[in-house]
Every structure is written in structure tokens, then in C-alpha cells.
Amino acid sequence: MTGNENIWHTDVSWRQEPALGSVLRLSEVPALGGDTLWCDMGAAYDNLPDEIKERIDGLTAIHDFTSTFGRFLPPDVLEAKQAEFPPAEHPIVRTHPETGRKTLFVNAIFTIRIVGLEEEQSEQLLNYLFSQAHIPEYQIRFRWEPNSVAFWDNRATQHYAVSDYFPNRRVAERVSIAGDRPF
Ligand SMILES: [Fe+2]
């Protein structure tokens, strides 16, 4: 697949303290396309079957940027980045620090394995959990206009930037807000 950010994800979940949220403004918007979707990961958690909730209760997963952003870095820069940001271990179910709501906190870009499971089991379970973000009932889809501003909570959502506007341009400015360690 080509494009940028067109896989469901939570920003910088590979940090020990992932961003609280982001503010994004689009200064140049294609006439058609370039929408952004967000998914409510609290709803995704709430609607999991009980046996899955029991299975993931207390489990943690590893988040790492090496196989995504890391691919584009020269080896020496990659090594320095890996030293600065070693893989992060986060609970699969995190608790929102303000609302207390449980949210499903694994994503298809950065979450690479579940701690304590065999690789095959980890992959199967992760793929199932990733697929919850694909359920339209949990999503909203935002159509940008020039100078639209979106502000999202990275602790409670995942997002997906639709890459359907080539060769038109889509120009964005983003500010990320520092977050805390997931628990
Ligand atoms: Fe993103």
C-alpha cells in the first residue's frame, strides 16, 4: 500500500509517554479526498467479547518504530534513534487518565508483539485486536476544508489518513501535545 498514515494507528505509541493528542490544520486541501477517519477505541474495547477481554486483561505489548519509520533512516541515524527510544511496553487495555474509561491500546503500525505469548498466538491475537479499528460503527470520517482544524485525543482514538488524492497536494501543520505513561 502506498501513502502516508493510511494504516490505523495511535501517534508515537513507541514512546514511553505517547502524545496526549494532536492539533492538525490543513492549509491546502484536495478538491476531493484526503479525509481523515478516527476510531473510538473505548467503544472498540467495550464491544469485545468477554472471553477476549479476559484474555487481554493485564497483558502488555511492545511498541516499536523500527519496521516503519526506521526503514527510511540511514543505519547510524536508526541506531541513535533506537538508543533514544527503545521499544516501549504498554498495557493492551489502557485506562484513560481523565475519564477512567478503558480503551484498546494496540495499533497496526507500531505494536509488534504481546509480551509472554508465543509469536504465532501473539500475531493472531494482535491481528484480531487491530481489526477492531476497521469497524465503521466506531468511526467518524472528517472531510477537510481549507484551514479546518482537528484536535484529537490520542489516548482514546486511532486515526487513518485516506490516501486517495494523488497527484493533488494536501498540506498540513501539526502540533503534538506531550502525554503521560499509559497505565
Ligand atoms: Fe498519525
Q: Tens digits of per-residue pLDDT, 54-68?
A: 999 999 999 999 988
Within a domain: residue 67? yes
127-156 average pLDDT score: 97
Q: How many whole angstroms from 27 Cα to the centroid of ligand 1?
A: 17
Per-residue model confidence (pLDDT) at position 4: 76
CB 13 within 8 A of CB 179: no
Domain count, the chain: 1
Within a domain: residue 15? no
Cell 502516508, residue located: 4
**pTM metric for this prediction:** 0.93
Q: How many whole angstroms from 14 Cα to the centroid of ligand 1?
A: 12
Within a domain: residue 9? no
* Cα–Cα distance measured from residue 36 to residue 11, given in angstroms and rounded to the nearest whole number: 14
Within a domain: residue 4? no
Catalytic site residue 46? no
Catalytic site residue 90? no
131-144 average pLDDT score: 98
Q: How many whole angstroms from 13 Cα to the centroid of ligand 1?
A: 10
H helices present in 37-98, as ranges: 41-46, 50-56, 75-84
Name the active-site residue from 57, 174, 180, 181: 174
pLDDT at position 2 over 90: no
Q: Which residues pair with 60 in a beta bridge?
A: 91
